[in-house]
Structure formats: C-alpha cells, structure tokens
Amino acid sequence: QVQLQESGPGLVEPSQTLSLTCTVSGDSINSNAYWWSWIRQSAGKGLEWIGRVHIAGTINYSPSFESRVTISVDTSKSQFSLKLNSVTAADTATYYCARDRFTMLRGLIHNWFDPWGQGTRVTVSS
Amino acid sequence: DIQMTQSPSSVSASVGDRVTITCRASQTISNYLNWYQQKPGNAPKVLIYAASSLESGVPSRFSGSGSGTDFTLTISRLQPEDFAIYYCQQSYTAPLTFGGGTKVEIK
C-alpha cells in the first residue's frame, strides 16, 4: 500500500525558507489519478490546505500562501516538495503531505486526502 | 474561501452512545464533503467521502449524510477506539478547506 513520508528541518529561522520533501512509496507518483498535496496543522488555525501538484505539471495554491509558496514534483525520486518563503512564528505547525485521490460518482468527480504522511513538526524560531 | 463550521466543538459521550456531528458550509457545496478522524499523534484518516460514501475498511457504525450546506456525521454506537477529533472538509472548490474539528470525549 502507498506510504508517504515527510522529511526536512524541524527548526527554521524567521525570514528564511521552509523546505520539506515527501517521499512516496508503494505506488507510482506518476499516476494521472492523483494529485499530491501539502497540508499543515497548527493550534491557532487548525488544518490548512497549502496546495497541490499533479504530474502533468498543474499546480494549485491556496491564496493564503500563493505569494510565498512553491510546490514541485520529482518523479525520478518519487518525491514532491514544499518551499515556503519568508517564514514567521505563525508558520510553526505540523506539516503533512497527502495523496489527493479522485473518483467518479454518478458522473461527478470527488476527491479526498488519503493517505497522509505521519507529519513533521516545524518550528520557526531564532 | 468556503468556510466550514462544525458543531459542537466537543461532545462527551459514553461507549454505546449515538453521536452526531454537524458541519455547515458558508455556501452550497453539493455533496463535496469529506469526514476525517484524527487520534493524538496521528495524521487524519478519511472516514466518509462525497458526503455519504464509506471509505473501505471503515466500520459501518460511521455514516454521513447531507447536501448543499448542511452535513452530518453519525457514529451509531460509540466504541472506545472512536474517541478522537473529527473534521469535515469541502472538496467543492479550491482552496480546499476544513472545519475546526469536533472532539469526542469520554463521559
């Protein structure tokens, strides 16, 4: 079964760039059937969807992050990545990567997040 | 952005109880609504997608209903392993958004 694993620094200094990678195993990241998303969870704002990437090259970002986020995919490494610039203490959170599954139900396309990585805690502090 | 509002924010219940959690969208989202369960230290796990479709492997005591702006997650007979936080999430349009969560606690 597919598994996702986040990796990256647990501590980032204010104004710097937060960089995380998600490694996908047990299934091909090349499938057209999925998007690959980043989501974060903090005590203050709960669960926030940051954005997603499709292997065809399409990327969607949440407007809340669009000005300072980059999501990319490296199919040769079966990985996708998140870069968040100009971080502040408000970016302290647990960051999750997740597969964005799609299915057709009664002619409509529905999607949901499954599975998720275990999450990685990132603290923004000097 | 579509705002998702859950109620109650917490509920105390006993094993065997029927528990109902409500999620309301700030605009109509048809049936583009998913439910997740999160236990301490773990990532959320999908229970219900498309408002009422049970994810494979999820016990049948979980059910979802609703359409438009109002949705419900019901746990028919609460089990010890069901004490957790439950989130709704709309998949109608980006940005995808989540509710604030409902904590199901032991009474």
* Biggest CA-to-CA distance, chain A: 52
Decide: helix, strand or coil at residue B2. Answer: coil
- The answer to whether the Cβ–Cβ distance between A113 and B36 falls below 8 Å is yes
The pLDDT of residue B102: 98
Interval A14-18 mean pLDDT: 98
A119 and B45: CB-CB below 8 Å?
Answer: no
Q: What are phi and psi for residue B44, nearest 5 degrees?
A: -60, 155
Q: What mean pLDDT is predicted for residues A75-104?
A: 96
Q: Tell me which residue in B30, B94, B98 faces A46 most closely, judged by beta carbons.
A: B98
Q: How confident is the model at residue A112 (pLDDT cuts 50, 70, 90)?
A: very high
Lowest-pLDDT range of A27-31, A117-121, B3-7: A27-31
Q: Does B44 touch chain A (CB under 8 A)?
A: yes
Where chain B has pLDDT below 70, the residues are: none
| Minimum distance, in Å, between the CA of residue B50 and any CA atom of chain A | 6
pLDDT at A32 over 90: no
Measured from the Cβ of residue A111, the count of other Cβ atoms closer than 10 Å reads: 20
Confidence band, pLDDT 50/70/90 cuts, at residue A57: confident
Task: Tell me the mean pLDDT in the region A106-126.
Answer: 95
User: What is the spatial distance between Cα A24 and Cα A67, in angstroms, rounded to a whole number?
Assistant: 27
Q: What amino acid is encoded at B14 in this protein?
A: S
Question: Are the beta carbons of B6 and B101 closer than 8 angstroms?
Answer: yes
| pLDDT given for residue A105 in this prediction | 87
Residue B102, chain A, CB below 8 Å: the answer is no
A64 neighbourhood in chain B, CB within 8 Å: 1, 95
Residue at A85: amino acid letter: N
SS (HEC) of chain B: CCCEEEECCEEEECCCCCEEEEEEECCCCCCCEEEEEECCCCCCEEEEECCCEECCCCCCCEEEEEECCEEEEEECCCCHHHCCEEEEEECCCCCCEECCCEEEEEC
Which pLDDT score is estimated for A115?
97
pLDDT at position A48, please?
98
Contact B17, B77 (CB under 8 A): yes
